[in-house]
C-alpha cells in the first residue's frame, strides 16, 4: 500500500528534546500530529514509527522517544500527498518550524493543537484509522 499518514501523539509534559541536527527544541505538553508518506509499504513505515526498537533516522524518531504515540491514520494514494496535508494543517494548527521537512519546501510536518481540532481536521481529509 502507498499513501500518506498522520501520527497522533501526546506529550505529557513540557520538554526540551534534542531533535537530531535541529538542536534542543522546547515542546509544550499536549497533542501533536506528524504528517508523512510512504510510496512503498505504508504499513511498514507506520509500524516502524510506532516501534520502540529502532535506530533514529528521522526527526520524528527523536520526538517519539519522549512522547506517547496514540493513533495513526492513513490515506491510500500513489501520489505524494504529505505536503498537501502539511500545508493544510499549517493553516489551522501551530507548526514546529523545520520539523520533518528537510526534503521538501514545507514549513513543517509536525503540528500542535487541541485534540478535538486535530481529529476534526483528520476527519475532513477522509483519513482511515490504522489498525496494526
The DSSP secondary-structure symbol of 81 reads: -
- Cell numbers 509499504: residue: 41
pTM of the predicted protein model: 0.94
- 18-62 pLDDT, tens per residue? 998 888 899 999 999 999 999 889 999 999 999 988 889 889 999
pLDDT tier at 122 (50, 70, 90 boundaries)?
A: very high
Answer whether residue 94 shows pLDDT above 80.
Answer: yes
pLDDT value of position 12: 97
- 61-82 pLDDT, tens per residue? 999 999 999 999 999 988 888 9
Q: Domain limits of the chain?
A: 3-129
Contacting residues for 94 by C-beta, under 8 A, at least 6 apart: 111, 112, 113
Residues above pLDDT 70, as percent of the chain: 100
Question: Which long-range CB contacts under 8 A does 12-21 form with residues at least 24 apart?
Answer: 12/67, 12/68, 15/66, 17/62, 17/63, 17/65, 17/66, 18/62, 19/59, 19/62, 19/63, 19/99, 20/56, 20/58, 20/59, 20/62
Amino acid at each position: 500500500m502507498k499513501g500518506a499518514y498522520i501520527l497522533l501523539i501526546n506529550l505529557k509534559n513540557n520538554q526540551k528534546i534534542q531533535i537530531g541536527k535541529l538542536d534542543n527544541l522546547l515542546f509544550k505538553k499536549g497533542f501533536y500530529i506528524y504528517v508523512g508518506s510512504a510510496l512503498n509499504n505504508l504499513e511498514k513505515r507506520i509500524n516502524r514509527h510506532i516501534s520502540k526498537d529502532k535506530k533514529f533516522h528521522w526527526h520524528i524518531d527523536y520526538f517519539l522517544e519522549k512522547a506517547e504515540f496514540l493513533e495513526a491514520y492513513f490515506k491510500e494514494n500513489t501520489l505524494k500527498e504529505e505536503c498537501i496535508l502539511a500545508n493544510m494543517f499549517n493553516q489551522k494548527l501551530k507548526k514546529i518550524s523545520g520539523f520533518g521537512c528537510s526534503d521538501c519546501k514545507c514549513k513543517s510536518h509536525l503540528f500542535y493543537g487541541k485534540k478535538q481540532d486535530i481529529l476534526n481536521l483528520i476527519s475532513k481529509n477522509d483519513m482511515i484509522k490504522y489498525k496494526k
